[in-house]
Structure 1
Amino acid sequence: MSTSAALVRTAEGRASEVDGTVRISASEVVGIEHLPPILARLRQRHPALTIELSLSNALDDLLQRKADIAVRMVRPEQQALVSKRIGAIRLGLHAHQAYLARRGTPVSLEELGRHDLIGYDVETPAIRAIAQHYPALTRSAFALRVDSDVAQLAAIRAGFGIGVCQVPIATSEPDLMRVLPDAFAIDLETWVVMHEDLRSSARCRAVFDALGEELAPLVHR
């Protein structure tokens, strides 16, 4: 199915013009919090361009052409891919100021055990590695367990408790406060990636370049 869809996307646009369809794969948070304004500006510049956006925390395999371009939070290993490193987006612990006013602000990782924590339900190898460094953030400690990063962010915004979110998102919202910034920080390497066979596609190159240019400021926000 993914191969036939890729053939349709390839056939519908002319290689030298920015028209036709480009399918982008990205995580939920990137796709909901960061990409919409970027894609809106891209569409204004190229009105013949159609975007398909696939939101998932799973890594779509570009080699199988499930997507034309992906925004990945891990370094791409496949050699048949063209990639651009955006930089590292920092993750931190955050809470709504109303929650902190109600429950107080922890001054150490140990004090997190007395707070309502928001975290994962199903443990993955990446989460397991984080938990080894931060034993206070294990599954048994979470008052809310959900594997959707967007749902976790919504719970933080609602004042449920303390959870992990991207620092660039929180800094743009005055009600979200960083908690224990010196004790907890994780950097997510961020890349824009596409299959090398798409180098000559004007529409894919336009999207690739736009994502690389406009996502970069997130690293420095």
Structure 2
Amino acid sequence: MNWQAISFDWNQVRAFLATVQEGSFSGAARVLKTTQPTVGRQIGGLEKALGVTLVERSVRGLTLTEAGRDLLEHMRTMGEAATLISMVADGKSQDVSGEVTVTGTDLLSAAILPRVLKPLRQTAPGIRVRILASSEMQNLTQREADIAIRHVRPDQPDLIARHLGDFRANLYAASDYLDRVGRPHTPRDVATLDFVGNADPERLMAPLHNMGVPIRPESFVMSSANGVVAWELVKAGYGVSMQPEALGDADPGIERVLPDFPSLEFPMWLVTHRELQTSRRIRVVFDLLARGLSERVRRGNRFA
């Protein structure tokens, strides 16, 4: 192979990397916001430029060839370098306009971010915010988001994080549900009630067991990976759920299952890539979120 003669389009490499990551042309097309035939043509063009076959197509799907496996890590290195170049260039921009993507859990995105971000329309009307409501750990280093609100501190060296404080959560249920089944008097009584779970309901079992509530997997009669849906299930009277105190205490139709039950605390981290801290539009949104979210923590976790 004559490597000095090779010339190819960077979009072809992006198509190849996205296909490997997603496992299909259709998945790559969805991520790249293009069409499946376009992805196929780009990979075909890359194969022609390199003079090798990178993927084999069959009824069982796509499989990397030996050449594809050999070149994959080199292309990933190229992709990381291109991403860093993009971030550095973006970081040098001082134009207070353009899009900023903020990601947080669906419940936080629905209940908190609309109020926190409202002043931005007066202070920087040129900034367009895209809220990515997701419980997934978005990869900031790959620019899936510019700013993330997380409940765990990231450990990637290229990310900077600011601890804004700790939100508190407690056990809540709809008043009409407790009217129907009776109000518990002890933590052990709580374990006899129905529960509404979130993304991974059984993860709640260990801390509740430590707090004297011996719930079982079958206690979770309803659950949803979407926090907003889980909250609506609680309001509809399906059972007990661990929810933010700021949300539960503010709803007149919801009450704490045990008034003296201790709170669970979960931290709130505001995270961005270090290169983006020099971007004026990213910095404006980052600082606004830091002020707004910290204020809500100081006010006793009230969302409103």
Which TM bucket (shorter chain)?
A: 0.7 to 0.9
1:138 matches 2:200: no
Whole-angstrom CA distance in 1 between matches of 2:84 and 2:130? 12
Within the candidate set 226, 239, 243, 1:161 is matched to: 239
1:116 maps to: 194
Q: Secondary structure at the match of 1:151?
A: helix
1:170 matches 2:248: yes
Q: Identify unmatched segments of 5+ residues in structure 1.
A: none
Q: Identify unmatched segments of 5+ residues in structure 2.
A: 1-30, 33-78
1:196 maps to: 274
Whole-angstrom CA distance in 2 between matches of 1:142 and 1:81? 36
Question: What's the TM-score, normalizing by structure 1?
Answer: 0.86
Q: CA RMSD in A?
A: 2.8
Change (3 A) 1:217 1:62: same
CA contact (8 A) 2:161 2:271 kept: yes
Q: CA deviation at 1:166?
A: 0.4
Whole-angstrom CA distance in 1 between matches of 2:85 and 2:248? 40
1:51 matches 2:129: yes
Counterpart residue type for residue 210 of structure 2: H
Whole-angstrom CA distance in 1 between matches of 2:87 and 2:236? 40
Whole-angstrom CA distance in 1 between matches of 2:214 and 2:272? 38
Whole-angstrom CA distance in 2 between matches of 1:23 and 1:120? 25
Whole-angstrom CA distance in 1 between matches of 2:250 and 2:126? 32
Change (3 A) 1:62 1:9: closer
* More strand by percentage: 1
* More helix by percentage: 2
CA contact (8 A) 2:101 2:129 kept: yes
Q: Secondary structure at the match of 1:199?
A: helix
Whole-angstrom CA distance in 2 between matches of 1:35 and 1:160? 27
Alignment of 1:95-106 (within 5 A): 95-106=173-184
Whole-angstrom CA distance in 2 between matches of 1:9 and 1:43? 25
Count of aligned positions = 220
Q: Map Cα deviations across residues 133-182 of structure 1 (whole Å, 9 max, x no partner).
A: 35634322112132222111111112222111100112222222112254
Q: Which has the larger radius of gyration?
A: 2
Q: Secondary structure at the match of 2:163?
A: strand
Q: CA deviation at 1:21?
A: 0.6
Counterpart residue type for residue 64 of structure 1: Q
Q: CA deviation at 1:122?
A: 4.3
Question: What's the TM-score, normalizing by structure 2?
Answer: 0.64
Percent identical pairs in the alignment equals 28
CA contact (8 A) 1:24 1:54 kept: yes
Runs of 4+ aligned structure 1 residues displaced above 6 Å come to 2-14
CA contact (8 A) 1:31 1:55 kept: yes
